[in-house]
Amino acid sequence: MNEIGKFLILIGAVTVLLGLLLMVIGKIPLIGRLPGDIVIEKRNFVLYLPIGTSILLSILFSLIFYFLSKR
């Protein structure tokens, strides 16, 4: 039972951190408005393809995981 309790606390902490991250991402000015992000707006339809943001985040996470794996 002790392991289940620790696991639930870990899931709760990760959920809180993810929620805080989502709140902060909206305040970063460049995220979602980079060159390469495609926005198509019609009368009753909006299509948003964050290609530039996805590439930037992919490079960033790749570098983070690369340096963490070198330890």
> How does DSSP assign 24-65, residue by residue?
HHTT-SSTT-STTEEEEE-SS-EEEEEHHHHHHHHHHHHHHH
Which pLDDT score, from 0 to 100, does residue 71 have? 67
Task: Select the more confidently predicted residue: 24 or 31.
Answer: 24
Per-residue pLDDT, averaged over 56-66, amounts to: 91
Cα–Cα distance for residue pair 20/40, rounded to 1 Å: 29
pLDDT beyond 80 at 17: yes
Which pLDDT score, from 0 to 100, does residue 30 have? 67
The pTM assigned to this predicted structure is: 0.56
Per-residue pLDDT, averaged over 45-67, amounts to: 90
